[in-house]
Amino acid sequence: MIFYKLQELILKSPAKRDRLILANLFLAIAIDMAIWLLLIFNFWRSSEYIVLGYNIYFGISSFGHWYQVLLLPLLGLIIIIFNFTLAFNLYLKEKILSYFLALGSLIFNILILITSLIIIYVNI
């Protein structure tokens, strides 16, 4: 039920024709998919614990199973869905807010990509 309302909202929104919002959406999804692939291909064979957190003052701060690192791209996907749903919903009322939501989603996924690369680097 909620999915169909969400689909109707997106299909009827004039934001789907805005190039800036669509560019941010496609870039955010592409980065999120790249994060999924990077993490799965680097850690899926790992049977031991991997480093999940690193602190510059104390060094390694947390360990865990390899699949726990997949929470990062999952969080990125949730942020994409939430921000772009709001952006499509608020486009007619506040166009600038829609742009900020779309850009915020992209920036958040870029930060997750950097974090994922650091986690891969620490575990090699």
Higher pLDDT, 25 or 7: 25
Is the predicted pLDDT of residue 10 greater than 90, yes or no?
Answer: no
Higher pLDDT, 33 or 49: 33
Question: What pTM value is reported for the model?
Answer: 0.85
Q: Are the C-beta atoms of residues 123 and 50 closer than 8 Å to each other?
A: yes
Residue 8 CA, chain-centre distance (Å), reads 23
Q: Domain residue spans in the chain?
A: 18-123
The whole-angstrom separation of Cα 80 and Cα 102 is 8
Helix (H, G, I), strand (E, B) or coil at 54: strand
Higher pLDDT, 110 or 94: 110
Per-residue pLDDT at 117: 94
Per-residue pLDDT at 1: 66
Higher pLDDT, 48 or 30: 30
State which H helix or E strand residue 45 sits in.
Answer: none
Is the predicted pLDDT of residue 8 greater than 80, yes or no?
Answer: no
Average pLDDT, whole number, for the chain? 88
Per-residue pLDDT at 94: 87
Mean pLDDT value of segment 34-47? 89
